[in-house]
């Protein structure tokens, strides 16, 4: 299981805004009835879905009767699209997983030994045993604890081209398996995050009897949340980078409101703006236009052009933009 976080340079330690959505997710996950529940956080890219999921997991960990995943499962990774890889991830992210999922791990370790030994005739039979052991462990643990998992980038499980229909062949096998298992998993909560293109998967869940489904739409920051973000990142910069702190402090009084208007409150664009402030030469700072302007695409173009003009750092940023997740500093 990859232990990774992909955030901006100036990702704030605490969640900014989103109090209503966070409270809604936590309350739904805490509701007493022992039925499987799925919560879908839907929003466009860069709107803050991943950050909200992490905050929800963190808050739920304060409740002793809930077994909460140590980290989210990112469906960006193809290994999570297979049933075996997905089961491994579900077990691996839970605390004390070797104890809670002892039957599963024993069965899986035996499967690994059979594969290494090349005992082909026994592998299929043991694969079935692994899945049965996993389900048995989930049901046993759920008798005493509510289980909470979080799955990110749900849209990655669909392989259909945008605008075309989604058939069974266009969906990762782990999703089909999950839909079959969920009605049996009492006292289990899944928190999903995805873009609008994940709606066909969500509609499948809504059609499953005995499954509670709740949608939490996530829109852009309000003007107040944008100001809160600037205040939070300014406090962070004060302790980590005095140059960026001074630049944020020196922004004209209405600049933050104009940044909100220009970015349409999209957190990823606001973060990109602050990232640029932290590295840009003084004569290359982006001028925030005044007036009634709604040009997020223009803001993106300006910021990208400024990065391109920033020498080696600009080349690095462009290369990272084309690279898949998991690229480390050495690579």
The string of pLDDT tens digits covering residues 108-139 is 999 999 999 988 889 999 999 999 999 999 99
Whether 50 is in a domain gets the answer yes
- Predicted confidence at residue 5, as pLDDT, reads 42
Angle between helices 83-92 and 102-117 (to 10 degrees): 140
Q: How many domains does the chain have?
A: 2
Identify whether residues 302 and 158 lie together within a single domain: no
Identify whether residues 137 and 258 lie together within a single domain: no
- Predicted confidence at residue 15, as pLDDT, reads 85
Closest alpha carbon to 30 in 189, 149, 152, 137: 189
Identify whether residues 52 and 181 lie together within a single domain: yes
Closest alpha carbon to 303 in 328, 331, 266: 266
Whether 330 is in a domain gets the answer no
Whether 26 is in a domain gets the answer yes
Per-residue b or e along 293-302, where b marks 16 or more CB atoms closer than 10 Å to that residue's CB: eeebeebbeb
Is-contact 75 63, C-beta < 8 A?
no
- Predicted confidence at residue 131, as pLDDT, reads 95
Whether 10 is in a domain gets the answer no
Identify whether residues 187 and 231 lie together within a single domain: no
- Predicted confidence at residue 284, as pLDDT, reads 55
Identify whether residues 41 and 67 lie together within a single domain: yes
Domain of 56: which CATH number?
A: 3.40.50
Return d(Cα 85, Cα 105) in angstroms, integer.
Answer: 13
- H helix intervals, 118-241: 120-142, 173-181, 199-206, 223-240
Give the 3-state secondary structure of residue 6.
coil
Which contiguous run of DSSP H or E holds residue 82? Answer: none
Identify whether residues 76 and 181 lie together within a single domain: yes
Identify whether residues 69 and 187 lie together within a single domain: yes
Whether 328 is in a domain gets the answer no
Identify whether residues 128 and 253 lie together within a single domain: no
Identify whether residues 205 and 237 lie together within a single domain: no
Look up the pTM and report it.
Answer: 0.81
Whether 134 is in a domain gets the answer yes
Q: Write the burial class of residue 161 (CB in 10 Å: 0-12 exposed, 13-18 middle, 19+ buried).
A: exposed
Where does a domain end: 196, 217, 238?
A: 217
- Predicted confidence at residue 172, as pLDDT, reads 87
Could you tell me where the beta strands, DSSP code E, fall in the chain?
Answer: 37-42, 66-68, 73-74, 146-152, 188-194, 212-217
Whether 235 is in a domain gets the answer yes
Identify whether residues 301 and 263 lie together within a single domain: yes
Identify whether residues 161 and 230 lie together within a single domain: no
Considering Cα of 9, then 259, then 53, then 86, what sign does the dihedral take? negative
Where does a domain end: 174, 190, 217?
A: 217
327 to each of 58, 75, 323, how far by Cα in Å? 26, 17, 7
Identify whether residues 228 and 313 lie together within a single domain: yes
Q: How many CA atoms lie within 13 A of 325 on its CB side?
A: 12
Where does a domain end: 182, 202, 217?
A: 217
**Domain boundaries, position 107:** 19-217
Give the 3-state secondary structure of residue 233.
helix
Whether 255 is in a domain gets the answer yes
Closest alpha carbon to 158 in 203, 193, 200: 200
Helices and strands, counts by H and E, the chain: 14, 6
Q: 49-101: per-residue pLDDT in tens?
A: 999 999 999 999 988 888 999 999 999 999 999 999 999 999 999 998 899 99
The region that residue 145 occupies, defined by phi over 0 for left and psi between -120 and 50 for alpha, beta otherwise, is beta
User: For the chain, which residues score pLDDT lower than 70?
Assistant: 1-10, 32, 160-168, 278-300, 302-303, 307, 310, 313-314, 317, 321, 324-331
């Amino acid at each position: 299981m990859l232990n990774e976080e992909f955030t901006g340079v100036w990702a704030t330690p605490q969640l900014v805004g989103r109090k209503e959505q966070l409270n809604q997710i936590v309350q739904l996950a805490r509701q007493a009835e022992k039925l499987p529940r799925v919560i879908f956080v839907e929003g466009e890219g860069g709107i803050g879905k991943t950050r909200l999921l992490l905050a929800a997991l963190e808050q739920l960990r304060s409740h002793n009767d809930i077994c909460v995943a140590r980290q989210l499962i990112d469906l960006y990774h193809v290994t999570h699209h297979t049933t075996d890889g997905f089961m491994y991830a579900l077990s691996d992210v839970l605390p004390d997983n070797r104890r809670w999922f002892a039957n599963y791990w024993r069965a899986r370790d035996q499967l690994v030994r059979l594969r290494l030994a090349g005992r082909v005739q026994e592998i299929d039979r043991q694969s079935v045993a692994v899945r049965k052991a996993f389900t048995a462990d989930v049901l046993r643990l759920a008798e005493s604890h509510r289980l909470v998992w979080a799955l990110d980038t749900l849209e990655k499980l669909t392989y259909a081209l945008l605008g075309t229909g989604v058939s069974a062949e266009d969906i990762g096998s782990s999703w089909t398996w999950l839909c079959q298992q969920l009605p049996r998993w009492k006292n289990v909560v899944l928190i999903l995050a995805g873009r609008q293109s994940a709606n066909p998967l969500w509609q499948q869940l809504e059609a499953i009897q005995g499954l509670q489904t709740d949608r939490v739409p996530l829109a852009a920051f309000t003007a107040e949340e944008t100001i809160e973000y600037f205040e939070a990142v300014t406090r962070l910069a004060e302790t980590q980078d005095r140059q960026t702190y001074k630049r944020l402090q020196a922004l004209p009084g209405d600049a933050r409101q104009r940044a909100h208007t220009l970015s349409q409150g999209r957190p990823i664009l606001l973060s990109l703006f602050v990232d640029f402030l932290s590295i840009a030469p003084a004569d290359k700072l982006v001028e925030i236009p005044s007036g009634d302007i709604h040009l997020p695409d223009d803001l993106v173009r300006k910021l990208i052009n400024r990065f391109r003009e920033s020498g080696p750092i600009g080349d690095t940023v462009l290369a990272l933009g084309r690279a898949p997740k998991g690229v480390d500093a050495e690579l």
